[in-house]
Amino acid sequence: MTQLTATASTALAGKIICPGDKSVSHRSLIFGALAKGTTTITGLLTGDDVLSTAAALRQLGVTISKPERNAKGQFIAAVTGVGLGAFAEPAAPLDLGNSGTGARLLMGVIAGSGISAVFTGDASLSKRPMQRIMTPLSQMGAEFTARDGDKLPLTVKGTRAPLCLDWQSPHASAQVKSAVLLAGLTARGKTSVTEPVASRDHTELMLRHFGVDVETTTHSDNSYTASIIGEASLTAADIIVPSDPSSAAFPVVAALITKNSAITVTGVSINPYRFGLYQTLMDMGADLTISNQRIEGGEPVADLICKSSRLKGINVPASRAASMIDEYPVLAVAAAFADGDTHMPGIEELRVKETDRIALMEQCLRKGGVEITSTHDSMTVTGASTHSGGMTIDAQHDHRIAMSCLIFGLASDRPVTVSGCETINTSFPEFAELMQSMGANIKNSISPNGDNI
Ligand code: S3P
């Protein structure tokens, strides 16, 4: 059990590199596994979620080298693909740990192959709804049995000849879109997914990078369709993983809400479908400069320079939710220190993440003295220049809740303690060290025998 305590900090400074993007890392392993040849991945995230996906792929007969650091400190791994439809049936359940992305994308792959697999996960993943992918994948011919209808443990019986599908997804979800497109790779003909507004497009970009034709259209009502032609084949292609904007969000917000801070986070993905938080912070008056924009490995990246800022509350457009869906917990922390109200509508999806993030953020921030209210699909935070903090919370297997509350502790009057911080390893294993390197007061607060230090 890891317990961290964050104490009031000022003058955060430094130039840091955040770890590789989680979405891109999962996909580079999965798509590399489906390709013919060897794909070298540079900058792979080695968080627990990605390691769970790698372990599952190894159970399916894929060779993945142990990630090693290069001279720049980035992790490099090589995936030797087996080709589409050539996975071995796993002898044991695939344990995806905490990872919704790993689980849902691999269910799509298994659905379009001729094998069966049992999926298991931790307490959080075992509560998350799988119906959203079971419905389209069943229409393509896969068969499912699941606890409580759609919860893990869940068995997928794939089909060697899936049917094409034109899926109208009620959710703007990259996991749903990706699962259907991955199953469609082995179907004869066209498979399309339309979502109410575009979710992150890493699957579309990476499929193209591996040689698959992907057609994408944004319609006049903002809905978005991605299509592929099945019986495709993927050719190995090396990948450079940019830094994760969802991880960079934590040091960025920390610098904005602590006094006399100025930091630079280098090489962060500024993919437009992931940029919503940064746009929102700038709308709130953040002193945030997007500098040195460039393309690395096919993804737009930039260095983010941010300084302590007096933020003001705003109404965050609901249409922006998909492009910042993982960032609302830390946005709520920024909003807590802004002048006035920040209203965040259209965020119902937060209720089915690693935890119900609306309920848990409301509970945690309230304990720290913040005025916060919610409805089924919105949060409203009333900002103030100081907050008591002083709360102890349990992360409940949710890395982003843990990190958000610790960032809140850096700007509150009294220390904030978060237990269950091992969950941070799912996406940002170096979080505490990187924050400490900039002068943030975040320390381990439990000894190996479980006593508070
Ligand atoms: C992800 C998609 C999002 C996001 C998750 C990563 C992906 O989930 O919350 O952290 O890599 O496809 P949804 O598809 O459920 O929106």
Q: What is the CA(104)–ligand 1 centre distance, in A?
A: 10
Q: What is the CA(173)–ligand 1 centre distance, in A?
A: 6
- Measured N-to-C along each axis, helices 48-59 and 100-111 cross at an angle, to the nearest 10 degrees, of 20
pLDDT tens sequence across 226-255: 999 999 999 999 999 999 999 999 999 999
| Residue 153: cis peptide before it, omega within 30 degrees of 0 | yes
* Mean pLDDT, rounded, for 313-317: 98
**pLDDT of residue 92 exceeding 90:** yes
Which CATH class, in words, describes the domain spanning 3-19+242-444? alpha beta
Cα–Cα dist 74/68, whole Å: 8
The residue to mutate among 96, 132, 175, having the most atoms of ligand 1 within 8 angstroms of its beta carbon, is 175
Angle at 23 between CA 21 and CA 24, to 5 degrees: 65
Picking from 12, 2, 1, 3, the residue whose alpha carbon sits closest to that of residue 415 is 3
* Percent of the chain clearing pLDDT 70 (strictly above): 100
Query: Residue 269 — very low, low, confident or very high, per pLDDT cuts 50/70/90?
Result: very high
**pLDDT of residue 289 exceeding 80:** yes
Q: What is the CA(448)–ligand 1 centre distance, in A?
A: 34
| pLDDT for the residue 1 | 84
| pLDDT for the residue 58 | 98
Angle at 336 between CA 243 and CA 280, to 5 degrees: 45
Cα–Cα dist 189/10, whole Å: 58
Which residue in the list 122, 326, 394, 398 is annotated as catalytic?
326
**Backbone dihedral angles phi then psi of residue 332, each to the nearest 5 degrees:** -60, -35
pLDDT tens sequence across 169-187: 999 999 999 999 999 999 9
| pLDDT for the residue 453 | 79
* Mean pLDDT, rounded, for 311-338: 98
* Local structure of 421: helix, strand or coil: helix
pTM: 0.98
Residue 440: which residues within 8 A CB-CB, separation 6 or more? 6, 9, 12, 254, 258, 410
The residue to mutate among 325, 403, 426, having the most atoms of ligand 1 within 8 angstroms of its beta carbon, is 325
Cβ of 197 closer than 6 Å to ligand 1, yes or no, is no
**CB-based contact 49:429 (threshold 8 Å):** no
The DSSP bridge pattern shows strands 116-120 and 416-419 to be: unpaired
How high does pLDDT run on average in the chain?
97
User: Is 341 a known active-site residue?
Assistant: no
Nearest CA to ligand 1 atom 15: 173
| pLDDT for the residue 222 | 96
Q: Assign a CATH topology to domain 22-240.
A: UDP-n-acetylglucosamine1-carboxyvinyl-transferase; Chain (3.65.10)
Structure tokens at 425: 């390893």
The DSSP bridge pattern shows strands 68-69 and 151-157 to be: unpaired
Number of the ligand 1 atom closest to the C-alpha atom of 172: 16
| pLDDT for the residue 220 | 98
Residue carrying the six token digits 């094998």: 115
* Mean pLDDT, rounded, for 306-333: 98
**CB-based contact 376:356 (threshold 8 Å):** no
**CB-based contact 69:269 (threshold 8 Å):** no
pLDDT tens sequence across 345-355: 999 999 999 99
**CB-based contact 227:190 (threshold 8 Å):** yes
Number of the ligand 1 atom closest to the C-alpha atom of 173: 14
Region of 287 (left: φ > 0; alpha: ψ -120 to 50; beta: rest) is beta
| pLDDT for the residue 450 | 80
Nearest CA to ligand 1 atom 10: 326
In the β-sheet with 378-382, what is the strand arrangement from edge to edge? 341-345, 378-382, 371-375
| pLDDT for the residue 307 | 98
* Mean pLDDT, rounded, for 377-382: 98
Query: Residue 452 — very low, low, confident or very high, per pLDDT cuts 50/70/90?
Result: confident
- Domain pair 3-19+242-444 / 22-240, same fold: yes
Q: What is the CA(441)–ligand 1 centre distance, in A?
A: 30
pLDDT tens sequence across 418-436: 999 999 999 999 999 999 9
Domain ranges of the chain: 3-19+242-444, 22-240
pLDDT tens sequence across 115-142: 999 999 999 999 999 999 999 999 999 9
